[in-house]
Amino acid sequence: MCQLLGLNCATPTDAVFSFTGFRRRGGATDTHADGWGVAFFEGRGVRLFIDPDAAARSPMADFLQRYPIRSRNVIAHVRKATTGAVALENTHPFMRELWGRYWVFAHNGDLHGHQPKLHRHFRPVGDTDSERAFCWLLQELDKSHASLPPVPELTATLRELIPHISRHGTFNFLLSCGDAMWAHCSTHLHYRVRDYPFSRATLADEDWTIDFSTVTQPGDRVAVIVTTPLTRDEVWIPFAPGELRVFVDGAPMTDTGT
């Protein structure tokens, strides 16, 4: 299985602290050494970095650990390959355009027998079950809405679509178009909201403690979504199996349901 990391923020925020711990799971503190990637939304653009090598020893990951890209939505992934070869085209996150916006998706789990019919505009480049599921989701969203709808409408449509995929196996995923972040749990997913009054946190996979009160400003708020809690000394809220949550401006919306 793979692992997921997402940040949804009220103001542009760098992911250096979270990414430093998370990348260690890509071949150092865990076995997810078959590629990694991270996407940073900046306005309507996306900086996408993917690498089929292990994150724990990747020079590109070294660069990103030192380079504080500020974003309101970040999706990262470390891969343990099950379906699809270890190759650049099979490395998450995946990105596609819909309604003139970039969409980014990363998946943790295995899907068996999910072979939907895909139209010309939404076709996978690689051979993973994950990219195929992403293409189908976008295809069906495109059928359901003529243009980008409000977040609650998108959430309602996603809630109708997800069971068609999740019945085929494990479907933990993160999805964003830059306005919000959707997180769905089949098995394991946790989140933590960091806001005022900010406190200290210590990474679980790296010897690093940070006092967030010294590096934040009024109005900052960050929701961190991750497969397994990133820190040893913070309270993380587990998702329920089958739960879909949407995060906007660094907090979960309260009307998402399960």
Identify the active-site residue in 2, 9, 177, 185: 2
Contact call for residues 125 and 89 (beta carbons, < 8 A):
yes
Cα 43 to the chain's mean position, in Å?
A: 17
Pairing label, strands 244-248, 209-211: unpaired
**Residues, the chain:** 258
Measured distance CA(84)–CA(132) in Å, rounded: 11
Pairing label, strands 101-108, 172-176: antiparallel
Secondary structure class of 63 (helix, strand, coil) = helix
Measured distance CA(201)–CA(209) in Å, rounded: 5
Residue 186, both tokens: 């089949």
Residue 62, both tokens: 């070294």
Residue 163, both tokens: 């069971």
Measured distance CA(55)–CA(32) in Å, rounded: 8
> Following CA atoms 161, 167, 172, 174 in sequence, which dihedral angle do they give, to the nearest 10 degrees?
-10
Tokens 């996978």, located at residue: 124
Pairing label, strands 190-194, 181-184: unpaired
Active site residue 2: yes
Residues with active-site annotation: 2
